[in-house]
């Protein structure tokens, strides 16, 4: 897995995949910049009147629920169905699922209408996508009684998708194999949009391969490693604003060699 994920860095730089993203207005600029930094080409079209035509040009589609409304949902359904028909990978970021009934109902409906190759969320979001079948002490990610790795594996089987659970230790699973990534820095939680940016990176890697497990590993680990590298560059009088800039810098400098040197990854095989 480590080798196959590493090879994607070269492919992205060579092919410059077009990544169509229907994302939220809070993080749209950072998602576009993260896509550019790793070597992809972002397009952020969200009008229901043109998303089908744009998807036909794309190598991957990212759907992000951050600032969802009826118009965005209409666009997501059109774009997702078009991508499915053309075998273009679709990646879901269920931001805030579980916070309101509307958000939870709409993402559940979208899951019935669109096939997602990869889903990335925090533990609470992924738990809610599964309908609360896992026993917890609450809905916050810190209160789950199972690990991110266990949750990712169960969700992958139930949702029929590669699942990424982000957190202190990120986990990626296809239901049979699970990778645990132990990179990252706490400052990533103090800058809005880093999760959305991670999903954009996953979408970019998905645009150059049909190994969506490897794409998910490459994308989520790139964000975590870049967080470490950005934090290490900070001076004593610098804070989260500078960290945000250095984060994009670190993503832009990421390559196969740096990734292989920095990534901390373990793989488990489920019975």
Q: Catalogue all structural domains in the chain, each as residue range(s) with its CATH number.
A: 2-269 (3.40.1190.20)
- Average pLDDT along the chain: 92
CB count within 10 Å of CB 261 equals: 8
pTM as predicted: 0.94
Contact of 222 with 259, CB cutoff 8 Å: yes
With a pLDDT cut of 90, the percent of the chain lying above it is 88
Helix (H, G, I), strand (E, B) or coil at 16: coil
Rounded to a whole number, what is the distance in angstroms from the first to the last CA of the chain? 18
Cα 80 to Cα 92: distance, rounded to the nearest angstrom: 10
pLDDT of residue 270: 62
Closest to 50 (Cα-Cα) out of 25, 71, 67: 71
- Measured over all CA atoms, what is the biggest interatomic distance in the chain, rounded to whole angstroms? 52
pLDDT digits (tens, 9 = 90+) for 118-162: 999 999 999 999 987 443 333 344 466 789 999 999 999 999 999
pLDDT of residue 28: 96
Question: Which residues are within 8 A (CB) of 257 and not within 5 positions of it... i.e. 6 or more apart?
Answer: none
pLDDT-flagged residues of the chain (< 50):
133-142
């Amino acid at each position: 897995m480590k080798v196959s994920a590493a090879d994607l860095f070269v492919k992205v730089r060579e092919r410059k995949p077009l990544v169509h993203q229907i994302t939220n207005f809070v993080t749209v600029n950072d998602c576009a910049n993260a896509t550019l930094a790793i070597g992809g080409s972002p397009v952020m079209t969200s009008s229901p009147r043109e998303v089908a035509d744009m998807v036909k040009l794309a190598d991957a589609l990212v759907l992000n629920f951050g600032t969802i409304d009826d118009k965005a949902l209409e666009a997501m359904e059109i774009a997702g169905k078009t991508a499915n028909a053309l075998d273009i990978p679709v990646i879901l970021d269920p931001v805030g699922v579980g916070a309101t009934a509307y958000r939870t109902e709409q993402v559940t409906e979208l899951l019935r209408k669109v096939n997602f190759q990869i889903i990335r969320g925090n533990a609470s979001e992924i738990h809610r996508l599964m309908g609360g079948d896992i026993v917890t002490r609450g809905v916050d990610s810190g209160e789950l009684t199972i690990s991110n790795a266990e949750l990712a594996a169960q969700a992958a089987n139930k949702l029929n998708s590669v699942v990424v659970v982000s957190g202190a230790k990120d986990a990626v699973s296809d239901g049979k194999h699970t990778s645990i990534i132990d990179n990252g820095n706490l400052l990533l939680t103090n800058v809005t949009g880093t999760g959305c940016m991670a999903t954009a990176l996953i979408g970019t890697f998905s645009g150059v391969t049909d190994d969506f497990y490897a794409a998910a590993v490459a994308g989520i680990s790139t964000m975590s490693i870049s967080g470490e590298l950005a934090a290490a560059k900070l001076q004593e009088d610098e804070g989260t604003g500078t960290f945000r800039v250095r984060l994009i810098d670190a993503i832009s400098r990421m390559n196969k060699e740096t990734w292989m040197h920095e990534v901390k990854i373990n793989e488990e095989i489920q019975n």
